[in-house]
Structure 1
Amino acid sequence: MNFTFQESSVLYGMLAESTTDVILKTDPNGFIVHATAALADLGEREPGSPVGPHLLDLVVAEARPLVARAHARAMAGEDVGWVEFPAIGRDNRRRWFEIRLRALLRHDGTPYGALGVMRSVDELRSLSEQLFTATYSDPLTGLTNRTAFVSMLEHMLAARMDGCLALFSIDFFRTINMQYGQSVGDGVLTVFADLLREMLRTEDIISRIGSERFAVLLPRVSPEEAEAICRRVVTTLADLKQPVGDSHFTMTASASVARIETSLDSTMERAEMALFVAKAKGRNRLEMEKGARLATG
């Protein structure tokens, strides 16, 4: 593709740190009039064709307004910076790119098009998503982990959102691991995680926060409503008698409920104390925080 001296000057500044990007040139309306060969990987026209696609033809529908605004701002002389968007290639795979656009100006200062640099950020997004999963997810159960749980509880407190915190602990989990083996112990954890997913509301946030311990954030419920929800979990688990692998035994859990208020430490301390009481009273039961009505499972 051929560039004027002014186009080449703009291009040099945009490519100072890279020589592997897709380069494209648009007219004032956003139609691509020149592009490097890599554009064909997106299923668009080959370089040198007399009529090119519109810039927005490269972009999935939901991201087109974002890219359209970037092009309009570039044509108005603004330095837009990098804009990220998803595209669908000729293999029908959704891939992520970022683009940076700058106006091309005539001698009198009026824009006659835009020059764009487009690069794939698919690998970076994949790595970012993997990092997010590793940082905030429990690999065994697929639930969020303690780090994510703490962040979400802090958010609820900062937003002054009403609700309750429930803690669950699988009874005699260490004994199960020792007697039946770790694979059976892992099966117990996944069975209980699936039960929580099935029985709790879609808005409830379930996390595995320790070896055999699970926490549930129940937004916008009263302690009485939280008690009813969590009691069903405790009683259903005890009645389930679901086999884990080749082993057959009754799984039970102890549970507690505390109102989310004051601070993270205060909320956790009240829930932990109620869970301690549930275990001290024989396990397989639910206890409310001190001052609230006690309930058995």
Structure 2
Amino acid sequence: MIEKLNLQEGVALYRLLADGSGDIVVKTDLKGYIVDASPAIAQLGFDVGANAHVGVHLLDLVGEEGKPQVAHAHGNAVAGGEDGAWIEVSAHTPDQRESWYRFRARALRDESGEVYGAISLMRSIDEQRELRDQLFAATYTDTLTRLTNRSAFVSMLEHMLGSEMKGCLGLFSLDFFRSINMKYGQHTGDAVLRVFADLLREMLRGDDIISRIGSERFAVLLPRTTAEQAEAICSRVVTTLAERRQKVGECEFAITASAGVAQISEDLDSTMERAEMALFTAKAKGRNRLEMERRDRPRFVAAPSATGQMHNRRHDD
């Protein structure tokens, strides 16, 4: 490892590293204005011609949300700070695509040790973020319907309860789903699940969270929704589904669903129990209908497993 370089050698090394890398290397003065940059700055739409980017401020390279972080990192560097921690910031490329970078700044000192500016590095992390997003999606997405899965649903419901966010939970169960599978085959059954998932996406609001939590069972979290509003929203789903004769593969038949709605309160077990009881009542009353929770009903046992899943009686048909 080279331990000590004179000024000219240091400049030569900087050029060698900067010119041969996809990293954006930027030299700035004490106020954050660029005095030199590597050719990779062209990634952000800046001309690499002589002095084309000189006078541009460092903050002009990053998105609005990242400006305070970059300003803090640069200020810490020119103040003599030595930590130079990595931060993640976004920037916009010439085609208006959002790109992500790791950013780090270090002080530049003259031969007397006086700080006269900073050198910053921006390293693209788009591939890493894409991989991270793919891993997240694989963990929390139901592969058949592309909705969030039960694990994600439990986490989001716990978050709503922990933050004391008001709202309602709606549980849906496709009626006679086991019979559909037996009569038409699993391929048709899978198509029915996708049809219902698409209907939920179509009819629910942008802030609502839709999950497939079991074989034929779906859950929707309705943030900041009163019981009356939740009843109206979920009733429209049940009614619309029943009114449409769906074309599924070579078959065309009516699909119906039962639903139960409960307010999100107390804890996860209580919220799930009340919605489950309402769903059970809807099925007991003939299916293809919605029932609201009733607070006066006696509680029944619904013990969570080690994975947070609720074990209760099943009502596939």
When normalised by structure 1's length, the TM-score is 0.81
Q: How far is the alpha carbon of 1:256 from its aligned partner?
A: 0.8
> SS state of the match for residue 239, structure 2?
helix
In the other structure, the counterpart of 1:142 is 146
RMSD: 3.1
In structure 2, the CA distance between the partners of 1:118 and 1:227, relative to structure 1 (3 Å rule), is: closer
| From 212, 216, 220, the counterpart of 2:216 | 212
| From 171, 178, 185, the counterpart of 2:175 | 171
Q: How far is the alpha carbon of 1:93 from its aligned partner?
A: 4.4
In the other structure, the counterpart of 2:189 is 185
Structure 2 residue runs of 5 or longer lacking an equivalent are: 298-317
Q: How far is the alpha carbon of 1:141 from its aligned partner?
A: 2.5
In structure 2, the CA distance between the partners of 1:176 and 1:91, relative to structure 1 (3 Å rule), is: same
| From 238, 255, 260, the counterpart of 1:256 | 260
Structure 1 residue runs of 5 or longer lacking an equivalent are: none
In the other structure, the counterpart of 1:23 is 25
Superposition pairs of residues 106-117 of structure 1, within 5 angstroms:
106-107=110-111, 109-117=113-121
Q: Which runs of 4+ in 1 moved over 6 A?
A: none
In the other structure, the counterpart of 2:199 is 195
CA contact (8 A) 1:256 1:274 kept: yes
CA contact (8 A) 1:25 1:34 kept: yes
Tell me which amino acid in the other structure corresponds to 1:135. Answer: T
- Point out the more displaced range, 51-60 or 153-162: 51-60
Q: How far is the alpha carbon of 1:239 from its aligned partner?
A: 1.2
Cα distance in 1, alignment partners of residues 137 and 22 from structure 2:
30
In structure 2, the CA distance between the partners of 1:181 and 1:6, relative to structure 1 (3 Å rule), is: farther
In structure 2, the CA distance between the partners of 1:199 and 1:21, relative to structure 1 (3 Å rule), is: closer
Cα distance in 2, alignment partners of residues 94 and 229 from structure 1:
35
In structure 2, the CA distance between the partners of 1:199 and 1:42, relative to structure 1 (3 Å rule), is: closer
Q: How far is the alpha carbon of 1:20 from its aligned partner?
A: 7.5
Structure 1 residue 70 corresponds to structure 2 residue 86: no
Superposition pairs of residues 1-297 of structure 1, within 5 angstroms:
4-5=6-7, 8=10, 21-46=23-48, 49-50=50-51, 52-53=53-54, 54=56, 55-60=58-63, 63-78=66-81, 79-89=83-93, 93-107=97-111, 109-291=113-295
Tell me which amino acid in the other structure corresponds to 2:225. Answer: V
CA contact (8 A) 1:7 1:104 kept: no
CA contact (8 A) 1:254 1:286 kept: yes
Alignment: residue pair count: 284
> SS state of the match for residue 283, structure 1?
coil
In structure 2, the CA distance between the partners of 1:41 and 1:236, relative to structure 1 (3 Å rule), is: closer
Tell me which amino acid in the other structure corresponds to 2:78. Answer: M
Tell me which amino acid in the other structure corresponds to 1:154. Answer: E
> SS state of the match for residue 104, structure 2?
strand
Q: Among all aligned residue pairs of Structure 1 and Structure 2, give the percentage whose two residues are the same amino acid.
A: 62
